[in-house]
Amino acid sequence: MRVAVISSEAVPYSKTGGLADVAGALPKALKRAGADSVLITPCYLQTKGEFIWSTAIEDLWLEWRGRSYRAKAFYSEANGSPTFLIDAPEFFHRDSIYGFTEDYERFAFFNHAALVLLKRVGKKIDIVHLNDWHCGFAAVKLAHLRFWDVFWKDTRTVFSVHNLAYQGGFGSGELWDLGFGSRFEQDHFAFEGYASAMKAGLSASDMLSTVSPTYGVEIQRSENGYGLDWLLRARSSRLSGITNGVDYEVWNPETDELLAANYSWQDLSGKRTCKRELLDQFSLPVDLDTPVFGTVSRLTSQKGIELIQQVAGEIINLGAYFIALGSGDRSYEDFFQRLRNAAPGQVGFFRGYNEDLAHTIEAGADLFLMPSRFEPCGLNQMYSLRYGTVPIVRAVGGLHDTIHNFDRVSGQGNGFKFGPFSAGPFLEKIYEAVFAFAEPETWRAIQVNGMKEDHSWENAAQKYIGLYKYTLQL
Ligand code: ADP
Ligand code: GLC
């Protein structure tokens, strides 16, 4: 089976969030599971030269908005599987990956280039696996192309929703120019008077998936559906939830070269060294018996930062440390900075994006906070599990599917989770966790439960292959 994974970001070539982790790791896992996979992603200004191995195609000619455009395709296997990076400076050499008013055009171009490239490479593709709104364009194109281009006749599409909140909306008047002239194509995009690339992907793809089963159920309800719940309900027989995996080649305390010491569930002593290193890095006084609460996150309302704001004072009153890494909404950044200024002996904050520090926090913290408003899957809670950093999460989406309350009687459970989006229930779990932390044996049991779990991609890749096979029979 030959699978082309198309994504707007993929580790190690580019990253703004978990989508990149997934798109980087899945093709590698598919390859290991026996599929012939290829990844296609843009080459951004941010893509480091060391990851580009060669130029695969010097002249990828594309008809675009009435003119001929010459793009290139680079080749790499830096993520462990064959990858083509579309090089088109006009669209992708910007100071950030997203955030431009013409993003819809940039990714429509990317989708067009990806399909032209795949045909030029010439190997028939069974499944094109599309991710989020940035790939909705290709879903529509392929639904159309398969009727008149023999190369695509047997190709089927799977569209994964990583985050329904971002929909890629633009004026319907643009569709013709972007190459979607037919009524059939335009209907897929039509959404409340404008064009939505997310709706197009959901409407035109053969099969849909979400990155956790619970999120797949949540987005069929009006309160989480962003106006598309009716479509998800209508297509629910084609919607499946597969929880993301973790790339343990990158996120594994036994081998992680970014840590001050390595450790495993059999021998956790290195974790104390990592805690010391973390406190040192933030110039905090070192008391290894005091719990460290950590968080690594995009600072947006999705991540429930309001709730962290509401409980932060209590965490300080408890005498604990609190360390945050993130960037995003200015008001949240300012809040963490103020908290740091108010309690410089207990709080650490790094504003920005820092891969190495994310590892240092995962290893050095005792507890990881993730009280998300909604969370399609979430990766940090799973990284935390492997690093023996006990997660406190809100019971939504993938957080609900992966974190289970610790039960003192049975000794089962890997963390703490609460339901209502409110500071009270969150605080209850914080207290419960701090009490458990004070009992070394209990704490170790929770840590070990999480560390022994297997959230590897092998499992998820098998599920995707099952989904692809099912899709091919439709
Ligand atoms: P989302 O994709 O919604 O941001 P996920 O939990 O799926 O959430 O994935 C977030 C990914 O981005 C993780 O790999 C996390 O470590 C990383 N990340 C988020 N913010 C930062 C940051 N400020 N610095 C480094 N890594 C970050
Ligand atoms: C999105 C979601 C996150 C998920 C990631 C990868 O960014 O917000 O929950 O883990 O995609 O699927």
Closest atom, ligand 1, to C-alpha of 244: 7
Whether 404 is in a domain gets the answer yes
Question: Is residue 15 domain-shared with residue 132, that is, in the same domain?
Answer: yes
Whether 257 is in a domain gets the answer no
Whether 260 is in a domain gets the answer no
* Ligand 2 environment, Cβ below 6 A: 17-19, 22, 162-163, 211, 244, 375-379, 398
| CA 378 to ligand 2 center in whole angstroms | 5
| CA 345 to ligand 2 center in whole angstroms | 33
Contacts of 148 (CB under 8 A, 6+ apart): none
Residue spans of the chain under pLDDT 50: none
Which has the closest alpha carbon to 37: 2, 87, 13, 62? 2
Question: Is residue 342 domain-shared with residue 426, that is, in the same domain?
Answer: yes
Contacts of 113 (CB under 8 A, 6+ apart): 60, 62, 71, 86, 88
22 lines ligand 1 (CB under 6 A): no
Three-state SS for 214?
helix
353 lines ligand 1 (CB under 6 A): yes
- Three-state secondary structure string covering 279-301: HHHCCCCCCCCCCEEEEEEEECH
pTM of the model: 0.96
Question: Is residue 421 domain-shared with residue 299, that is, in the same domain?
Answer: yes
Burial class (CB in 10 A: 0-12, 13-18, 19+), 21: buried
Closest atom, ligand 1, to C-alpha of 350: 23
Question: Is residue 194 domain-shared with residue 331, that is, in the same domain?
Answer: no
Question: Is residue 111 domain-shared with residue 150, that is, in the same domain?
Answer: yes
User: Looking at residue 172, what is its pLDDT?
Assistant: 97
Domain that holds residue 311: 269-455
User: Looking at residue 135, what is its pLDDT?
Assistant: 98
| CA 163 to ligand 1 center in whole angstroms | 13
Whether 252 is in a domain gets the answer no
Closest atom, ligand 1, to C-alpha of 379: 6
Ligand nearest the Cα atom of residue 166: 2
- Alpha carbon nearest to ligand 1 atom 12, residue: 17
User: Looking at residue 465, what is its pLDDT?
Assistant: 98
Cα distance from N-terminal residue to C-terminal residue, the chain:
16
Q: Which amino acid is at 448?
A: V
Closest atom, ligand 1, to C-alpha of 326: 23
| Substitution candidate for ligand 2 out of 8, 97, 198, 211 with most atoms within 8 A of CB | 211
- Tell me the percentage of the chain whose pLDDT exceeds 70: 100
Which has the closest alpha carbon to 265: 389, 365, 355? 389
Whether 222 is in a domain gets the answer yes
327 lines ligand 1 (CB under 6 A): yes
> What DSSP designation does 415 have?
B
Whether 303 is in a domain gets the answer yes
| Substitution candidate for ligand 2 out of 379, 382, 393, 464 with most atoms within 8 A of CB | 379
Q: Cβ distance 52 to 85 under 8 Å? A: yes
Per-residue pLDDT of 32-51, as tens digits, reads 999 999 999 999 999 999 99
Q: Residue 132: which CATH number?
A: 3.40.50.2000
| CA 328 to ligand 1 center in whole angstroms | 11
What is the distance between the alpha carbons of residues 294 and 457, in angstroms, rounded to a whole number?
25
Whether 274 is in a domain gets the answer yes
Closest atom, ligand 1, to C-alpha of 16: 12
Beta bridge partners of 348: 323
Contacts of 306 (CB under 8 A, 6+ apart): none
Question: Is residue 71 domain-shared with residue 84, that is, in the same domain?
Answer: yes
Question: Is residue 290 domain-shared with residue 422, that is, in the same domain?
Answer: yes
Question: Is residue 417 domain-shared with residue 465, that is, in the same domain?
Answer: no
| Substitution candidate for ligand 2 out of 296, 377, 384, 403 with most atoms within 8 A of CB | 377
Whether 263 is in a domain gets the answer no
HSE of 210 in the Cβ direction (CA atoms, 13 Å)? Answer: 27
Question: Is residue 235 domain-shared with residue 279, that is, in the same domain?
Answer: no
Q: Cβ distance 105 to 174 under 8 Å? A: yes
Per-residue pLDDT of 247-269, as tens digits, reads 999 999 999 999 999 999 999 99
Ligand nearest the Cα atom of residue 165: 2
Closest atom, ligand 2, to C-alpha of 21: 6
298 lines ligand 1 (CB under 6 A): yes
Cα-based torsion angle of the residue sequence 336, 338, 340, 346 in order, rounded to the nearest 10 degrees: -100
Average pLDDT, the chain: 97
Closest atom, ligand 1, to C-alpha of 163: 3
| CA 7 to ligand 2 center in whole angstroms | 13
| CA 20 to ligand 1 center in whole angstroms | 9
9 lines ligand 1 (CB under 6 A): no
What is the distance between the alpha carbons of residues 246 and 248, in angstroms, rounded to a whole number?
6
What is the distance between the alpha carbons of residues 110 and 315, in angstroms, rounded to a whole number?
46
Question: Is residue 295 domain-shared with residue 429, that is, in the same domain?
Answer: yes
Question: Is residue 435 domain-shared with residue 462, that is, in the same domain?
Answer: no
Ligand nearest the Cα atom of residue 12: 1
Closest atom, ligand 2, to C-alpha of 162: 11
Number of domains the chain is built from:
2
User: Looking at residue 103, what is its pLDDT?
Assistant: 98
Q: Cβ distance 297 to 269 under 8 Å? A: no
Which has the closest alpha carbon to 27: 473, 464, 466? 464
User: Looking at residue 428, what is its pLDDT?
Assistant: 98
User: Looking at residue 116, what is its pLDDT?
Assistant: 98
297 lines ligand 1 (CB under 6 A): yes
User: Looking at residue 457, what is its pLDDT?
Assistant: 97
Phi, psi of 3 (to 5 degrees): -120, 130
Question: Is residue 342 domain-shared with residue 316, that is, in the same domain?
Answer: yes
What is the distance between the alpha carbons of residues 189 and 180, in angstroms, rounded to a whole number?
9
Ligand nearest the Cα atom of residue 460: 2
